[in-house]
Amino acid sequence: MHSLGILGVGELTEKVVMGLRSSGFDGAILLSPRNAQRAEALAHTQGCQVLPSNQAVVDQAELVMLGVRPAALAQLASEVRLRPGQRLVSLAAGVGLAQLQAAFPAAHCVRVMLSYAAQHNQATVVVCPPDVPTEQGLGALGNLVVLQDEAAFELATVAACMNGWFYFLLHDLQQWLTDKGLPAAEARALVLGNLHDCVTSAQRQPEHTLKALGQAIATPGTFTADGLAVLMHQPVSASWGAACEVVLDGLLTRSR
């Protein structure tokens, strides 16, 4: 990728730009003018150019990233015309390839899902369908997961929401420790440290299921097992499942 155009300079595309620059990408990054203050700040700190119109971004960019919210997509589509075969990488959650193709008929549309960890080059970067230029262009933002079909991509979007929900779970666990008297910084370090221990162990032992790894710790008679017995009798995981179902319903409704 020689140049990236961004249509919709917002929370997520800002992190994409930061991640690309920190990975060493030195090609042109061309920003749409709306949300001028944010675009100017990004241009200043990350060496980007703010162009006078969305069409100017499309005209000068090799790969175009769509960073507007789904509700703004129709308006944006009416403002631009892509070149035949030009890559349009959409971040819009729940907007299917058929909808994208109808809105941007000339473009080669690809869907991507990622999190704010893109700014630290540590995001899970989901690409659908497989597309080498997109994978090469955005792979530096983290770990690529390339999916063939959109049904799997909608599930990956639910998984991306889990990323946001985890913060609230972690907050509650930190809060319990601070309520018991631990300073906030230590409570945070303990919660994040133990989560990190768990993630590291799971990643290093892909041959074991996540449940088996937990069971190997929560053996009978351990304190872990005592607490687990309480967790299993309260509907916490049921709530998480219900949240997943609500999001998936919303995504499927929107993408049809």
Ligand X SMILES: NC(=O)c1ccc[n+]([C@@H]2O[C@H](COP(=O)([O-])OP(=O)(O)OC[C@H]3O[C@@H](n4cnc5c(N)ncnc54)[C@H](OP(=O)(O)O)[C@@H]3O)[C@@H](O)[C@H]2O)c1
CA distance linking residue 236 with residue 77, whole number of Å: 42
Count the Cβ atoms, other than its own, within 10 Å of residue 119: 19
141 vs 187, beta carbon nearer ligand X? 141
Among 97, 145, 159, 160, binds ligand X (CB under 6 A): 160
Nearest residue by C-beta to ligand X?
10
Query: Dmax of the chain from CA atoms?
Result: 67
Q: Does 75 bind ligand X (CB under 6 A)?
A: yes
Q: How far is the CB of 120 from ligand X (least distance, A)?
A: 14
Nearest distance from C-beta of residue 38 to ligand X, angstroms: 6
> At 29, is the secondary structure helix, strand, or coil?
strand
- Does residue 35 bind ligand X (CB under 6 A)? yes
Site string for ligand X, 43-72 (x = CB under 6 A): -----------x------------xxxx-x
| Min CB(68)–ligand X separation in Å | 4
d(CA 119, CA 104): 28
Q: Is residue 87 a contact partner of residue 63, using CB atoms and an 8 Å limit?
A: yes
Q: Which CB, 218 or 244, lies closer to ligand X?
A: 244
Nearer to ligand X, 69 or 120 (CB): 69
Asked if residue 254 binds ligand X (CB under 6 A), the reply is: no
Task: Report CA 70 to chain centroid distance, whole Å.
Answer: 15
Query: Running DSSP on this structure, what letter comes out for residue 220?
Result: T
CB 85 → ligand X: shortest distance, Å? 22
Strands (E), 120-195: 123-128, 142-146
Spell out where 141-190 has E strands: 142-146
The amino acid at residue 151 is A
- Footprint of ligand X (CB under 6 A): 7-12, 32, 34-35, 54, 67-70, 72, 75-76, 79, 91-93, 113, 160
